[in-house]
Amino acid sequence: MNIVNQLQRQFIDFSTSLHREGFVDDQFTQLQKLQDENSPDFVVEVVSLFFEDCEKLINNMARALEQTQGVDFKQVDASVHQLKGSSSSIGAMRVKNACIAFRSFCEAQNREGCLRCLQQVTHEYSLLKNKLQTLFTLEQQILAAGGSIPVVD
Amino acid sequence: MKLTKKFVGSVCHREKLNVPAGRAQMAAQGRQGGRKSNKMTALVVDDNVVNRAIHHRLLDNLSIESEAVGNGKEAVDIHCSGKTFDLILMDMDMPIMNGIEATRKLREMGIRSMIAGVSTRSVEHEIREFIEAGLDDYQEKPLTMSKLISIIHKIKG
């Protein structure tokens, strides 16, 4: 098996594991299918936008939850709602699910619960970031070796 | 936030057509506005940067020219400036002016474009309120190519 085939095999196995472990869902596959010669970096660009947005929203949530005078749960919820929306749009399933749990603690105005959820969301975001960076690196390696990126359905 | 003269009281200075809001009459009226190309045009109205990027890409793949704004008020403003679009993809939850208010305002202004509501809301009465504001179609997020294609088929009649 030559280098391209090896890398492609690795890519397929890794992609499959991302789906199996729930890091990404079918929506992510949909985005990959939208990428073509006219927009060869679409997935990387959208994912970068997502991570930037994620960081901003997580900071907003943390700041709002730190307020000693009284937490504005509506504000926290607004940020969680945003993050739920964007994570759903890119297929970041575990981040999205963490947001769903988070929203119920916001509704219950439970600060401790919210702080735990914030930790969970931050954790899922870090995990996903690492996973996708690995995926993108594999893609680059395949292309550099002259191969094409397999479509994993 | 300063309220400009335009938005105090009634809508912007644009002829109000007393046509009841409801189903788009795109097929009968044909294309709106004067445009040099034959490409369809769309306006993406969403407060989330990731969604705007994805919706733009989906439209681009179908050779539809699109612009994006971040809330309902910007959607109204862009129409006040004289622009019209074949399709408006309208998010529901947005700051300053949400999708329901924006849809109502656009219909009051006489905008006959296809307005498709795109939202994560799943509660029936909330969706109904959105539809009754003047939507021609409603799709649950996340928007996919097949959902977008079904919206566009409605325009073509």
Q: Does B57 contact A42 at a Cβ distance shorter than 8 Å?
A: yes
Computed over its alpha carbons, how large is the radius of gyration of chain A?
A: 18
Cα–Cα dist A88/A97, whole Å = 9
Q: Mutation test of the interface with chain A: which of B54, B118, B141, B145, choosing the one with the most A Cβ atoms within 10 A?
A: B54
For the segment B37-43, the average pLDDT, to the nearest whole number, is: 89
Q: Are A15 and A135 in contact (CB under 8 A)?
A: yes
The pLDDT assigned to B143 comes to 93
Share of chain A above pLDDT 70, in %: 100
Per-residue pLDDT band for B44 (boundaries 50, 70, 90) equals: very high
Instruction: Inform me whether the pLDDT recorded for B77 exceeds 90.
Output: yes
Instruction: Inform me whether the pLDDT recorded for A65 exceeds 90.
Output: yes
Residues of B in contact with A33 (CB under 8 A): 145
Cα–Cα dist B24/B35, whole Å = 20
Cα–Cα dist B153/A96, whole Å = 31
Per-residue pLDDT band for A100 (boundaries 50, 70, 90) equals: very high
With 0-12 / 13-18 / 19 or more C-beta atoms within 10 angstroms meaning exposed / middle / buried, residue A143 is middle
Cα–Cα dist A26/A19, whole Å = 8
Instruction: Inform me whether the pLDDT recorded for A37 exceeds 90.
Output: no
Q: Which residues, including other chains, have CB under 8 Å from residue B89's CB and lie 6 or more apart?
A: B42, B43, B44, B45, B46, B55, B116, B118, B143, B151
Cα–Cα dist B144/B55, whole Å = 9
Residues of B in contact with A90 (CB under 8 A): 50, 54
For the segment B125-141, the average pLDDT, to the nearest whole number, is: 95
Instruction: Inform me whether the pLDDT recorded for B148 exceeds 50.
Output: yes
The residue that leads in pLDDT, A50 or B37, is A50
The pLDDT assigned to B155 comes to 86
The pLDDT assigned to B37 comes to 66
Cα–Cα dist B54/B31, whole Å = 25
The alpha carbon of residue A66 is apart from the nearest alpha carbon of chain B, in Å, by 23
Residues of A in contact with B47 (CB under 8 A): 82
Instruction: Inform me whether the pLDDT recorded for A110 exceeds 90.
Output: yes
Name the residue among A39, A53, A81 with its Cβ closest to that of B57.
A39
Give me the count of residues in chain A.
153
Instruction: Inform me whether the pLDDT recorded for B17 exceeds 70.
Output: no
Q: Which residues, including other chains, have CB under 8 Å from residue B44's CB and lie 6 or more apart?
A: B51, B52, B55, B56, B59, B66, B67, B68, B69, B89
Instruction: Inform me whether the pLDDT recorded for B30 exceeds 90.
Output: no
Chain A, residues 82-101, CB within 8 A of chain B, namely 82, 84-86, 88-91
List the B41-45 sheet strands across, edge first: B65-69, B41-45, B87-91, B114-119, B137-140
The residue that leads in pLDDT, A70 or B42, is B42
- Quick one: CA torsion of A132, A133, A139, A142, rounded to 10 degrees? -140
The pLDDT assigned to B156 comes to 64
Q: Does A88 contact B54 at a Cβ distance shorter than 8 Å?
A: no
In single-letter form, the type of residue at position B2 comes to: K
The pLDDT assigned to B31 comes to 43
Q: Does B48 contact A86 at a Cβ distance shorter than 8 Å?
A: yes
The pLDDT assigned to A97 comes to 96
The pLDDT assigned to B2 comes to 42
Instruction: Inform me whether the pLDDT recorded for B157 exceeds 80.
Output: no
For the segment A54-81, the average pLDDT, to the nearest whole number, is: 94
For the segment A30-53, the average pLDDT, to the nearest whole number, is: 94
Q: Does A85 contact B120 at a Cβ distance shorter than 8 Å?
A: yes
Per-residue pLDDT band for A1 (boundaries 50, 70, 90) equals: confident
With 0-12 / 13-18 / 19 or more C-beta atoms within 10 angstroms meaning exposed / middle / buried, residue A56 is middle
Per-residue pLDDT band for A58 (boundaries 50, 70, 90) equals: very high
Least confident of A40-44, A72-76, A118-122, B5-9: B5-9
| A49 shares contact with chain B (CB less than 8 Å) | yes
Residues of A in contact with B54 (CB under 8 A): 31, 34, 46, 89-90
The pLDDT assigned to A95 comes to 97
Query: The tokens of A90 are what?
Result: 């890119």
For the segment B95-111, the average pLDDT, to the nearest whole number, is: 97
Name the residue among B47, B53, B144 with its Cβ closest to that of A49.
B53
Per-residue pLDDT band for A153 (boundaries 50, 70, 90) equals: confident
